[in-house]
A and B are shown apart, each in its own frame.
Chain A
Amino acid sequence: MAGYIIRRLLIMVLMILLVSTMIFLLFRTMPGDPTASMVDPSIPSEARQALLERYGLHESLWTQYTIFMGDLLRLDFGSSYYYNRPVLQIIQNRLPATLILMFTAMLFAYLIGIFGGAWMAWKRGTKLESTGITLSLIFRSAPTFWVGMMVILVFAVRLGWFPAQGMRTTGYEGTTFGEIFISLDFLRHLILPAFTAGLYFLATPALIMRNSMLEVLSEDYIEMAHAKGLPERQVLYRHAARNALLPVVTAGALFIGMAIGGQVLIEVVFSWPGLGREIVQAVTRSDYPLAQGCFIILSTVVMVMNLIADVVYAVLDPRIAY
Chain B
Amino acid sequence: MGELVPELTIYSSLPESNLVNYEMAQELSEELAELGVQLNAEPTDFSVLLDIIYGEEMDYDAYTIGWSGRVERLDPDMFIYSINHSANANPGGNNTSRYVNQEFDALADAQRGEMDIETRREIVWDAQKILAEDVPRITLYSRANVQTYHHERFTGLENMPGEGLFNEWSPMVMEPLSDDHTVPVVASNVDITNLNPFGARSVYDWRNLRLIYDKLVRLSPDVEPVPWAATGWEIVDDITIDVTLREGMDFHDGMPVTPEDVKYSYEAFMALPDSYFAAFVQPIDSVELLEGNVIRFNMEEPYAPFITTTLTQIPILPKHIWEDVDDVTQYHNEHPVGSGPFEFVRLRDGEELITETFEDYFERPNIDGYIFKIYASPEGVLTDLELEVVDMVSYDLIPAHINQIKDNEGGRYGHLTITEVPDIGFFYVGLNNNRPPFDNKDFRVALSYLVDYDYAVDVLLDGYGSRGGAGLVINAANEFWHNPEVPVHNTYNPERAREILADAGFTWDSQGRLRMPLQ
Give, as a whole number of angstroms, the nearest-CB distance from B197 to chain A.
12
Q: How far is the CB of A109 from chain B (nearest CB, A)?
A: 23
Q: Please name 26 pairs of A and B residues whose Cβ atoms are closer than 8 Å in the assembled complex, sorted by A.
A: A31-B51, A36-B47, A36-B48, A36-B50, A41-B50, A41-B54, A42-B94, A43-B278, A44-B279, A45-B93, A47-B274, A50-B274, A84-B196, A94-B350, A164-B387, A170-B185, A170-B373, A171-B354, A268-B376, A268-B377, A270-B376, A271-B380, A273-B348, A273-B349, A273-B350, A273-B351
A window 245-295: CB within 8 A of B: 267-274, 277-278, 286
Closest-CB distance, B50 to chain A (whole angstroms) = 4
Distance in angstroms between the alpha carbons of A19 and B356 in the assembled complex: 47
Decide if B199 touches A44 in the complex (CB within 8 Å). Answer: no
Q: Which of A73-116 contact B (CB under 8 A)?
A: 82-85, 90, 93-94
**Does A166 lie at the interface of the complex (its beta carbon under 8 Å from any beta carbon of B)?**
yes
* Residue pair B346, A175 in contact (C-beta under 8 Å): yes
Q: Counting CB contacts under 8 A, is B92 at the interface?
A: yes
Cβ contact of A156, chosen from B346, B379, B383, cutoff 8 A: B383
A273-B350 Cα distance, complex, nearest whole Å: 5
Which residues in B have their C-beta under 8 angstroms from that of A164? Answer: 380, 383-384, 387, 389
**Given contacts A167-B351, A271-B375, are A43 and B47 in contact (CB under 8 A)?**
no
Using a CB–CB cutoff of 8 Å, the interface residues on chain A facing chain B are 31-34, 36-48, 50-51, 82-85, 90, 93-94, 149, 152, 156-157, 163-168, 170-171, 175, 180, 267-274, 277-278, 286
B46 on the interface (CB 8 Å rule)? Answer: yes
User: Inside 8 A of A32's CB, which chain B residues have their CB?
Assistant: 45, 47-48, 51
B371:A33 contact, CB within 8 angstroms: no
- Complex Cα distance, B330 from A171, in Å, reads 29
Total contacts A-B at CB 8 Å: 135
Cα–Cα, bound, A118→B46 (Å): 51
Chain B contact-residue range equals 35 or more
Known: A33-B51, A271-B377. A157 touches B383 (CB 8 A): yes
A165 to B384, Cβ gap below 8 A? yes
Q: Is B508 an interface residue (CB 8 A)?
A: no
Query: Taking A157-B386, A165-B384 as contacts, is the C-beta distance between A171 and B199 under 8 angstroms?
Result: no
Give the distance in Å from the alpha carbon of A18 to the alpha carbon of B349 in the complex: 32
**How many Å lie between the Cα of A273 and that of B194 in the bound state?**
17
Of A166, A268, A269, most B-chain CB atoms within 10 Å: A166
Q: Which residues of B contact A267 (CB under 8 A)?
A: 376
Known contacts A45-B91, A170-B352, A273-B348; A152 and B383 CB within 8 A of each other:
yes
Q: How far is the CA of A84 from the CA of B334 in the complex (A)?
A: 12
- Are B92 and A48 within 8 A (Cβ)? yes
A48's nearest neighbour on chain B, judged by CB, is: B92
Asked if B351 and A90 make an inter-chain contact with CB atoms under 8 angstroms apart, the answer reads no
- Residue on A nearest B275 in the bound complex, by CB: A47
Complex: how many Å from CA A44 to CA B90?
Answer: 11
Contacting residues, chain A, for B51 (C-beta < 8 A): 31-33, 36
- Expressed in whole angstroms, the Cα–Cα distance for A285 and B386 within the complex equals 32
Task: Please report B residues at the A interface, Cβ cutoff 8 Å.
Answer: 45-48, 50-51, 54, 78, 82, 91-94, 183, 185, 193-194, 196, 199, 201-203, 273-274, 276, 278-279, 329-330, 332, 346, 348-352, 354, 371, 373-377, 379-380, 383-384, 386-387, 389
Q: Are the C-beta atoms of B380 and A165 separated by less than 8 Å?
A: yes
Known: A32-B45, A94-B350, A170-B389. 18 other contacts (CB 8 A): A31-B48, A31-B51, A32-B51, A40-B276, A41-B54, A43-B274, A44-B92, A46-B274, A48-B54, A50-B273, A83-B193, A84-B330, A94-B349, A165-B375, A166-B375, A170-B352, A171-B371, A272-B376
A90: which B residues are within 8 A, CB to CB? Answer: 349
Give Cα distance in the complex from A175 to B46, angstroms: 36
Which residues of chain A have C-beta atoms less than 8 A from B329's C-beta?
84
Residue of B nearest to A50 (CB): B274
**Is the Cβ of A170 less than 8 Å from the Cβ of B371?**
yes
Q: How far is the CB of A238 from chain B (nearest CB, A)?
A: 45
Contacts of A43 in B (CB 8 A): 274, 276, 278-279
| CB nearest neighbor in B for A171 | B371
Query: CA separation between A44 and B282, bound complex, in Å?
Result: 11
CB contact under 8 A between A165 and B274, given known A32-B47, A39-B201, A48-B54:
no
- Contact (Cβ within 8 A) A269 B377: yes
**B373: which A residues are within 8 A, CB to CB?**
166, 170
Q: How far is the CA of A93 from the CA of B193 in the complex (A)?
A: 13
**Distance (whole angstroms) from the CB of A62 to the closest CB of chain B:** 22
State in angstroms the CA–CA spacing of A14 and B433 once bound together.
54
CB-CB < 8 A to B383: which residues of A?
152, 156-157, 164-165
CB distance from B34 to the nearest CB of A (A): 32
How distant is A169 from chain B, measured CB to nearest CB, in Å?
9
Closest to A38 in B: B201
Give which listed residue, A51, A93, A152, A271, contacts B274 with CB less than 8 A: A51
With A and B bound together, what is the CA distance between A208 and B91 in angstroms? 60
User: Which residues of chain A are within 8 angstroms of B354 by Cβ–Cβ distance?
Assistant: 171
Complex CA gap A149/B5 in Å reads: 52
Q: Please give, as numbers and ranges, the residues of chain A lying within 8 Å of B389 by CB-CB distance.
A: 163-165, 170
Question: Would you call A171 and B352 a contact (CB within 8 A)?
Answer: yes
Q: How far is the CB of A284 from chain B (nearest CB, A)?
A: 8
